[in-house]
Amino acid sequence: MQIKSANFVTSVADIKKFPKLDMSQFCFVGKSNVGKSSLINFLVNQKNLAITSKTPGRTRLINLFLINNDFYFVDLPGYGFSASAKNITDSFSELIEEYFETSRSIKQVFILVDIRHGASENDIHMANFCMIKNLPFTVIATKADKLSKSEIKPAQQKIATALKIGVENVAVCSSLKKMGREQILEIIESKI
């Protein structure tokens, strides 16, 4: 699939301000700093469409992008950095839950997991949430450039086991080394 255009639409901190959308939505979730914004930039082949940050926990907004005038990318806030989090449900951002409760036409959820760190409690919670809500999801193991070739497969398998999914549902990518783009675009193309 070709990405011909990618445009920023809006950022919202309040779900009431999120626009009503008819076209397909593809969502990106994961803890802060896992590489969501970098992945979106990589997929659309633009340097700065989604802002990338070296400071974890800064992105508390839902960012919406229109792709090919045909479907949306939804960059959800990072979870797991809430200082006030008392339990998993608390740190599983309210805004994320509200988004999933109110948005229709979500075609695929991409759960990003840092390949070096494996799946966290929040990632497990997110995957379970998708299963309960019947939301199709794929896990993307990010920053594969940080591991050697021989370390990648075992790390991918470990993530699949932790999330109780097949290893074929864990896509490996590196935005830095430009690896894994086609596989993700194929998933998107098959769901539009």
Calculate the CA dihedral of residues 7, 11, 15, 17 and round it to 10 degrees. Answer: -80
Residue 25 near which of Mg ion, ligand GDP, none (CB within 5-8 Å, type-dependent): none
Nearer to ligand GDP, 164 or 178 (CB): 178
The one of ligand GDP, Mg ion, none whose footprint includes residue 174, by CB under 5 to 8 A per kind, is: ligand GDP
- Nearest distance from C-beta of residue 20 to ligand GDP, angstroms: 25
Report the residue number, 48 or 134, with the smaller CB distance to ligand GDP. 48
Nearest to 21 by CA among 61, 69, 59, 60: 69
Shortest distance (Å) from residue 187 CB to Mg ion: 20
Binding region for ligand GDP (CB under 6 A): 30, 32-38, 52-54, 59, 78, 142-143, 145-146, 174-176
Tell me: does residue 37 bind Mg ion (CB under 5 A). Answer: yes
Distance between CA 33 and CA 169 in Å, rounded?
22
How far lies 125's CA from each of 60, 131, 173, 180, 188, in Å?
19, 10, 22, 25, 23
Q: How far apart are CA 185 and CA 192, in angstroms?
A: 11
Residue 115 Cβ vs ligand GDP, minimum distance, rounded to whole Å:
9
DSSP string, 44-95: HT-SSSSPP-SSTT---SEEEEEETTTEEEEEPPPBS--TT--SHHHHS-HH
CB of 73 to ligand GDP, least distance (A): 12
- Shortest CB 143 distance to ligand GDP, Å: 4
Among 25, 59, 120, 156, binds Mg ion (CB under 5 A): 59
User: Where along the sequence are the contacts to Mg ion (CB under 5 A)?
Assistant: 36-37, 59
